[in-house]
Amino acid sequence: MSDIVHLKWGEQPQGDCYLMITRHGRIRGEDFYVQSSAEEEIRAARAFADESYASLASALRKARSLAERDGVGTIYIRMP
């Protein structure tokens, strides 16, 4: 199972292979995105880079699924 790391303000992810969950505020609420550190190396990155999720929980479920499938050891969560 992947490690889940919440980044603090100004912190940068470590390593060269990870997934990151980010949040973007919208008028209707918030959208969450799963992004990859190495899109060319992680097969699922392009397929899901523009897909948004309605909650952090649903984005985290997707990130865990991708991390398990692609052998990614760390999932970062960055909230601006």
Contact 2, 44 (CB under 8 A): no
pLDDT at 43: 55
Contact 20, 37 (CB under 8 A): yes
Q: Is the pLDDT of residue 4 over 90?
A: yes
Parent domain of 20? 3-78
Give the rounded percent of residues in the chain with a pLDDT score beyond 90: 35
Q: Is the pLDDT of residue 53 over 60?
A: yes
Coil/strand/helix, residue 55: coil
Domain count, the chain: 1
Higher pLDDT, 42 or 11: 11
Q: Is the pLDDT of residue 62 over 60?
A: yes
Q: Is the pLDDT of residue 41 over 90?
A: no
